Structure 1
Amino acid sequence: MRIGELSRRSEVSIRSLRYYEEQRLLHPTRLPSGYRVYDDADVIRVQRIQALLEAGLSTRKIEHILPCLAQHADGVALACSDLYGQLVVERDELLARIDTLRTSVEALEAVISASPSPDAV
């Protein structure tokens, strides 16, 4: 399939697909005309890339994780045990950032609650 079809099937923009290729996350075959050709498996690969990006991982980390993902009955799991620790660290860093953001929201909430509404002034 060509890039437009992959874009439609994966619901990802053509621009993003080209970026994923630049970041070595996608490896389409090139026709002599220069057109990119993708396999059906690339739809799943793009969906995994999207999920990992949404999880907060960088494309550099995703490049190393993608080859180690395997489909299991319960979902996607790592087939490479050496990445397990890295993902645990990544998760813990995300949780720490969430805690920091929650603290910031609570501080803002306190300021907002203690302040008169602009409508009341």
Structure 2
Amino acid sequence: MRIKELTERTGVSARLLRYYEEQGLLSPLRQENGYRDYDESSVARVEQIRSLLDAGLTTEIIRAVLPCIAEAAISQYPAPDFVSRVRLERGRMADRIAALSKNLHAIDDYLAAVVKE
């Protein structure tokens, strides 16, 4: 599929798709005329990239993690630096989740106090 179709199917702009390619997160084939050609798996990959970015991971971490996700249950990552970076990112995500959860409960408490049904 061409970039326009991938954009329509994922809701991600063509500019961002090109950026993902520059960052090594997405690897479309190139036709003889230079057009990008994405296969069906690109849709899931873009959705996965978006999800990881939304979770707060950097493109650098995502680039390292993406190839491993499918085999995560059976793979081992022997590079201690990489494991440390992933642990650090996980800790940052957990902190953000805790803060969001606290804010959500505060909003729920406020709504319960002011909205009487």
Q: Same fold (TM over 0.5)?
A: yes
User: Runs ≥4 in structure 1, deviation > 6 angstroms?
Assistant: 98-102
Who wins on radius of gyration, i.e. which is larger?
A: 1
- The structural deviation recorded for 1:79 is 4.9
Query: After superposition, where does 1:22-33 map in structure 2 within 5 Å?
Result: 22-33=22-33
The Cα offsets for residues 42-96 of structure 1, whole Å up to 9 and x where unpaired, read as 000000000000010111110011101118xxxxx55533266643321212334
Higher relative contact order (CA 8 A, sep 6+): 2
Percent pairwise identity: 47
Residue 80 of structure 1: aligned partner = 75
Q: 1:16 to 1:94 in 2, by over 3 A?
A: same
Residue 39 of structure 1: aligned partner = 39
| Gap runs ≥5 in structure 1 | 72-76, 106-121
Tell me the TM-score normalized by structure 1: 0.68
Query: After superposition, where does 1:1-121 map in structure 2 within 5 Å?
Result: 1-70=1-70, 79-82=74-77, 86-96=85-95
Q: Which has the higher strand share?
A: 1
Question: Could you tell me which amino acid in structure 2 is paired with residue 88 of structure 1?
Answer: R
For residues 78 and 6 of structure 1, the distance between their equivalents in structure 2, rounded to whole angstroms, comes to 29
Q: What secondary structure, in the 3-state scheme, does the structure 2 residue paired with 1:81 have?
A: coil
Tell me the TM-score normalized by structure 2: 0.70
The Cα offsets for residues 11-65 of structure 1, whole Å up to 9 and x where unpaired, read as 1111110100010111111111110000000000000000000010111110011
8 Å Cα contact 2:2-2:38 kept in structure 1 = yes
